[in-house]
A and B are shown apart, each in its own frame.
Chain A
Amino acid sequence: MTNTLIALAINGLVWGLIIALIALGLSVIFGLLDIINLAHGDFFMVGTVVAWTVLTITGSFWPAFLLAPVIGFVLGAIIQRIVLQPIRNAAALSIVATFGLSMILQEAVRMTFGPTPRRILPPIRGTFDLFGVEYEVYRLFAAGVSILALAAFFLFLHRTKLGTWMRAVRHDPEIATAMGIPAQRVYRVTFGLGFALAALGGVVASPITTVDFRAGVDVLPFCFMAVIIGGLGNLPGTAAAAVLLAFLEGIISSFATPTVARIASLVLMSAVLLLRPQGLFKGLAK
């Protein structure tokens, strides 16, 4: 019993780190572009499909780690230019646009990849003994990659010129433009980065979940929960909330069904929205 509890808790932790990666993309897009991105789960799904395709064509899983974020970034930048730039400053329209985008992405994948879910074997095989439970090595690797990517993103945001620009545009787009920051280009890069983060999350998660054109539908509400509980636009808070939520769901799943665990975190989220709409981790916001 204790062993399963530990295994489920660690599972939750690993999954939470992956979700943190995806939710971070959602949060960046929301914070900077004021867009509620309903296609974000499908960006994740595109990542899993790229991983599957790369594995099928080259026989190796590793190129996907580079390819998926690049494809995600380019697709994201194109989508921002074609779809979202014309409707800027209209958040309600952006919800419709991203809903349409989500339908197109899902249908395009169903058309090319097919409607049947597939599985990918972990590229790192083998298990090890974790407090008496056989645990997959790959999951620990996935957690490590997620932590690295999260750290790299925060370094990028705080140590590079582009990252500083992004924070400046988020703070005050007009003054940023007046200071000579190319706000339009920053928006495009931001949306691209958001897509890239979700796609990377998809690659990391693909050997753990299934590759399916509907995979995003389940991931999206979870990412939104992390973004809300962490505080809208609060990036470190989002990451912390994702880990906390998945960890809690992991623990609750050890004595109840996963659906009950999901209900519990939704109730927690309602309480946060009503009592502390700025999120649980206000202190982390900068």
Chain B
Amino acid sequence: MTRTAIDRGVLAASAVFLLSVPWLIPAVADRFWVNVIAEILIWSLFASSVNLLFGYVGLLSFGQALFFGFGMYGVAIGVEKLGLGFWPALGLGVAAPVAMAFIAGIFAVRLTWHYFAIITVVFSLIFYFLALTLKPLTGGDDGISFAIPPTFRLGGAEWGFANESFQYFFILFAVAACLYAMRRLLASPLGKAFMAIRDNDVRASLIGLNVYWLRLVAFVIAGFLAGLSGALFAFFGRYASATYMFYHVSGEAVVWTIVGGAGTLFGPLVGTSLFILIREVVSTHWQHHSLIVGAMAILIVIYAPRGVVGVWRDLLERFGAPKL
């Protein structure tokens, strides 16, 4: 088998597994794992926004939680305060973070490297503290809970997140569509321009690329990915809270991305799955699972700095069959 054939096989097997989860899991394990997998999908979409910026444009954002939070609040405020239905609320939960990413990006992408990492943290902290202060709008620490509106209504029948399988497939298709769009984007001239900036921004500007504008575009797309994941998470949890805007949330996504393999499409998915599965498996037996998570993050950056997907590629290269 060639390397691409092995990769395709793994991909196809994962796709079949993910599509069969709502039937497969209840047959072999507790139904609770369906929701764990749905949560993994949402968080890997969030990590993908870090990956797009860091892995493909070379900007390390430590403030993606800002857009995740805007997505959550867009949905929660839309449903609870404005009385919107599912789709308008989802629209608000995507539009708000995209607009915020555009405004924040105008300032943030003027800076690079350490300064960029820090200004993104600062922006997210400003809105975290604002969300804590503006209690009437955001519910502060307690957050906003809401009842889930139906997604589709046809005659008397309704489909919505109240149905666990529907919820799972909605999340799966949203995340898969985003990853597919990201793949197309990265193969396009725009994606190549992103990578040129990552590899050398001076040269990129010398061949006529508008580095500032391209970085801003990437920042807004990343804001969209983070915002959509926040909106999905709000529907998934029927809840929005300021705690999800804290810098720890952003930091976890950076760790998941780098551990999974930054600059690879599926790295964030692998990293996120790894960490959430460990958390779910270990936390039932041992409450100090953070020790394992922390140690793993350290071991991986020391011994496999290119992440799990990087190790996988090296293995294929060494033991796998000839390249195509």
Closest to B251 in A: A99
B291 touches A108 (CB 8 A): yes
B301 touches A104 (CB 8 A): no
Does A274 interact with chain B (Cβ within 8 Å)?
Answer: yes
B301 touches A274 (CB 8 A): no
Chain A: minimal CB distance from B102 (Å): 16
Which among A90, A95, A111, A262 is the interface contact of B129 at CB below 8 angstroms? A262
Does B101 interact with chain A (Cβ within 8 Å)?
Answer: no
Main SS at interface, chain B: helix
Chain B: minimal CB distance from A35 (Å): 10
Bound Cα distance from A214 to B301, whole angstroms: 25
Which among A104, A221, A232, A270 is the interface contact of B247 at CB below 8 angstroms? A221
A93 touches B258 (CB 8 A): yes
A95 touches B302 (CB 8 A): no
B290 touches A104 (CB 8 A): yes
A100 touches B293 (CB 8 A): yes
Which of B85-93, B111-119, B208-216 forms part of the interface with chain A? B111-119
Does B153 interact with chain A (Cβ within 8 Å)?
Answer: no
Bound Cα distance from A92 to B71, whole angstroms: 27
Bound Cα distance from A103 to B291, whole angstroms: 7
Does A260 interact with chain B (Cβ within 8 Å)?
Answer: yes
A104 touches B295 (CB 8 A): yes
Chain B 119-169 interface residues, beta-carbon cutoff 8 Å to A = 119, 121-123, 125-126, 129-130, 132-133
B288 touches A274 (CB 8 A): no
Does B298 interact with chain A (Cβ within 8 Å)?
Answer: yes
Residues of chain A lying within 8 A (CB to CB) of residue B54: 92
Does A29 interact with chain B (Cβ within 8 Å)?
Answer: no
Bound Cα distance from A38 to B288, whole angstroms: 20
Chain A: minimal CB distance from B296 (Å): 7
B294 touches A274 (CB 8 A): no
Chain A: minimal CB distance from B125 (Å): 6
Type the 1/0 row for A250-286, where 1 means its CB is closer than 8 Å to any CB of B.
0000000101101100110110011001000000000
6 A/B residue pairs, CB under 8 Å, sorted by A: A96-B255, A99-B255, A107-B290, A266-B125, A270-B119, A274-B110
User: Closest 9 CB pairs between A and B?
Assistant: A100-B297, A103-B294, A104-B294, A107-B290, A100-B294, A100-B298, A93-B301, A266-B126, A103-B290
